[in-house]
Amino acid sequence: MSGRPGGTEMELALLEEAMRSSDPVRRRGAIDRAPNHPAAERLLLAALGDPAGEVRRAAVRALARRGGVAASRAIATVSGHDPSPAVRAEAVTALAQLLRRHQPER
């Protein structure tokens, strides 16, 4: 996340623009650099429906880093319903990470 005034808004605008690109590499890169901002979550959730599996995998990873109820539910859905085995596997891994993160310490 940027420390510049207006930086987050600029980063969000760049993310939105990149997500409209026809290039999946550009969309994936934008997801990897998404600002840690609540408005970015909407774009990451939408990216779970991207036609490119690599973009959906990046969205799963980004949502898992953020955590939260909406992200966890979306990742759980992807784990059972995405057409790509690689994306489903990424989602299962992400769910395991989320569960470990929220387990009480022993």
Closest CA to 56 of 36, 35, 77: 77
Q: What is the spatial distance between Cα 34 and Cα 71, in angstroms, rounded to a whole number? A: 15
Q: What is the spatial distance between Cα 36 and Cα 101, in angstroms, rounded to a whole number? A: 18
pTM for this predicted structure: 0.88
| Per-residue tokens: 4 | 């510049």
- Give the architecture (CATH level 2) of 7-101: Alpha Horseshoe (1.25)
| Per-residue tokens: 86 | 């690689």
Alpha-carbon distances, residue 75 vs 42, 48, 58, 105 (angstroms): 14, 9, 12, 24
Q: What is the spatial distance between Cα 34 and Cα 44, in angstroms, rounded to a whole number? A: 8
Question: Where do the structural domains in the chain lie, given as residue ranges?
Answer: 7-101
Query: In tens digits, what is the pLDDT along the chain, a chain of 106 residues?
Result: 444 445 688 999 999 999 999 999 999 999 999 998 889 999 999 999 999 999 999 999 999 999 999 999 999 999 999 999 999 999 999 999 999 998 777 6
| Per-residue tokens: 68 | 């939260």
